């Protein structure tokens, strides 16, 4: 069965087939019930409570920013209601200048996602990635001219040379390395907090498939050769815009040779040790794995569950 990880599982209908229709889009923008998620320096406006929720604003609340030419992205329809993300960073750089302070709190997406619903977390990922892409791609990669936002925010057009630029997602493989004795190899980078171990990960390169990327990255980082590669699940990672492709990778040798430029160390842990490490994600004085928000945690928990059935 499909396993949904944080930042996935969105409920919005993105209405991709209608985004090119300017008349339709304008109607959504002017709809009396349209809702807007403001982002200030990539931080969404959240409403505190027992759980965080998105502090949606009305069009009148953000009209000034829209009229000033703020980045505006159509997110989709939820029960027929149009939802947008809008960049309000022009209000200022310091928190004392931030708008809507009486309507919620500006919280970074990683922190907010750990304390909100899966549905809201998916919206936060979409919003942050899209706004960030526009902030990074104001000029044409072909001729250097300024580009303009088109198609509800899902394309930038360069009028001088005619080039069209679309948002990109960078594929990243992340894998648990497993042996035939139900042991799991995890690594750690020197810059990580002491005691933190995680799955091996790396960007896929042009001209290789997922399995090849897993075998290359694991060999480069740990010297472990990999045979079978099994896809498990994936996770949008909006920092700025990656797709974490989670796998189990089965080692054909257990002799570790760490590349010190990639990892500080890599260690084989038993299944029972991994079970304990999964429960210690918030215990900074213990050897642990990342929190449930991370796909590395989910890959390990799914592996534990699989070995127990």
Q: Give the percent of the chain with pLDDT over 90.
A: 96
Residues 176 and 300 in one domain: yes
- pLDDT band per the 50, 70, 90 thresholds, residue 95: confident
- pLDDT band per the 50, 70, 90 thresholds, residue 92: confident
Residues 196 and 303 in one domain: yes
d(CA 140, CA 157): 8
Q: Which of 112, 136, 160 is the last residue of a domain?
A: 136
115 part of a folded domain = yes
Tokens of 142: 């072909």
| Residue 79 pLDDT | 95
What's the average model confidence in pLDDT over 97-104? 93
Angle at 46 between CA 45 and CA 52, to 5 degrees: 165
Residues 57 and 186 in one domain: no
Residues 291 and 236 in one domain: yes
| Residue 12 pLDDT | 97
Residues 194 and 293 in one domain: yes
d(CA 272, CA 148): 54
Tokens of 127: 């919003």
Residues 178 and 288 in one domain: yes
Query: Residue 96 belongs to a domain with what CATH number?
Result: 3.90.79
Residue with tokens 């001729």: 143
Residues 183 and 130 in one domain: no
270 part of a folded domain = yes
The rounded radius of gyration (Å) of the Cα atoms in the chain is: 22
pLDDT digits (tens, 9 = 90+) for 56-78: 999 999 999 999 999 999 999 99
d(CA 19, CA 186): 43
Query: Residue 212 belongs to a domain with what CATH number?
Result: 3.90.79.10
Residues 177 and 280 in one domain: yes
d(CA 209, CA 90): 42
| Residue 308 pLDDT | 86
- pLDDT band per the 50, 70, 90 thresholds, residue 31: very high
pLDDT at 309 over 90: no
3 part of a folded domain = no
Residues 107 and 211 in one domain: no
132 part of a folded domain = yes
Question: Which residues are 87's β-sheet partners?
Answer: 39
pLDDT digits (tens, 9 = 90+) for 121-162: 999 999 999 999 999 999 999 999 999 999 999 999 999 999
6 part of a folded domain = no
Among 80-89, 94-103, 225-234, 242-251, the least confident range: 94-103
pLDDT at 1 over 80: no
122 part of a folded domain = yes
Q: Say how many C-beta atoms besides its own lie within 10 A of residue 118's C-beta.
A: 15
| Residue 93 pLDDT | 87
Residues 129 and 175 in one domain: no
Examine residue 235 and say whether the peptide bond preceding it is cis (omega within 30 degrees of 0).
no
Residues 181 and 299 in one domain: yes
159 part of a folded domain = no
- pLDDT band per the 50, 70, 90 thresholds, residue 246: very high
d(CA 149, CA 138): 9
pLDDT digits (tens, 9 = 90+) for 182-230: 999 999 999 999 999 999 999 999 999 999 999 999 999 999 999 999 9
In terms of Cβ atoms closer than 10 Å to its own Cβ (0-12, 13-18, 19+), residue 148 is exposed
Tell me how many domains the chain contains. 2
- pLDDT band per the 50, 70, 90 thresholds, residue 306: very high
151 part of a folded domain = no
Range of the domain at 181: 170-308
Residues 178 and 298 in one domain: yes
pLDDT digits (tens, 9 = 90+) for 257-300: 999 999 999 999 999 999 999 999 999 999 999 999 999 999 99
């Amino acid at each position: 069965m499909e396993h949904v990880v944080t930042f996935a599982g969105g409920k919005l209908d993105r209405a991709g087939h209608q985004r090119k229709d300017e008349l339709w889009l304008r109607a959504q923008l002017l709809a009396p019930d349209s809702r807007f998620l403001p982002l200030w320096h990539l931080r969404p406006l959240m409403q505190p409570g027992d759980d965080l929720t998105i502090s949606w604003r009305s069009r009148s609340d953000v009209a000034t920013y829209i009229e000033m030419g703020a980045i505006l992205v159509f997110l989709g329809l939820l029960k027929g209601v149009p939802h947008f993300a809008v960049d309000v960073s022009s209000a200022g750089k310091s928190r004392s200048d931030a708008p809507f302070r009486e309507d919620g709190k500006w919280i970074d997406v990683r922190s907010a996602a750990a304390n909100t619903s899966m549905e809201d977390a998916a919206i936060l990922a979409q919003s942050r990635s899209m706004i960030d892409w526009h902030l990074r791609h104001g000029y044409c990669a072909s001729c250097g001219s300024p580009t303009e936002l088109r198609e509800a925010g899902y394309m930038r057009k360069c009028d001088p040379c005619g080039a069209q630029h679309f948002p990109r997602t960078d594929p990243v493989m992340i894998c648990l390395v497993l042996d035939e004795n139900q042991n799991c190899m995890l690594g750690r980078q020197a810059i990580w907090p002491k005691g933190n171990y995680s799955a091996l990960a790396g960007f896929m390169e042009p001209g290789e498939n997922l399995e090849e990327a897993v075998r290359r990255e694991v060999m480069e980082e740990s010297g472990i050769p990999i045979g079978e590669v099994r896809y498990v699940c994936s996770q949008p990672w909006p920092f700025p815009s990656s797709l974490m492709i989670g796998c189990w990778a089965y080692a054909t040798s257990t002799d570790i040779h760490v590349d010190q430029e990639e990892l500080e160390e890599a260690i084989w842990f038993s299944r029972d040790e991994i079970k304990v490490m999964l429960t210690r994600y918030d215990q900074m004085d213990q050897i642990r794995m990342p929190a449930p928000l991370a796909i590395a945690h989910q890959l390990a928990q799914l592996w534990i569950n699989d070995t127990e059935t």
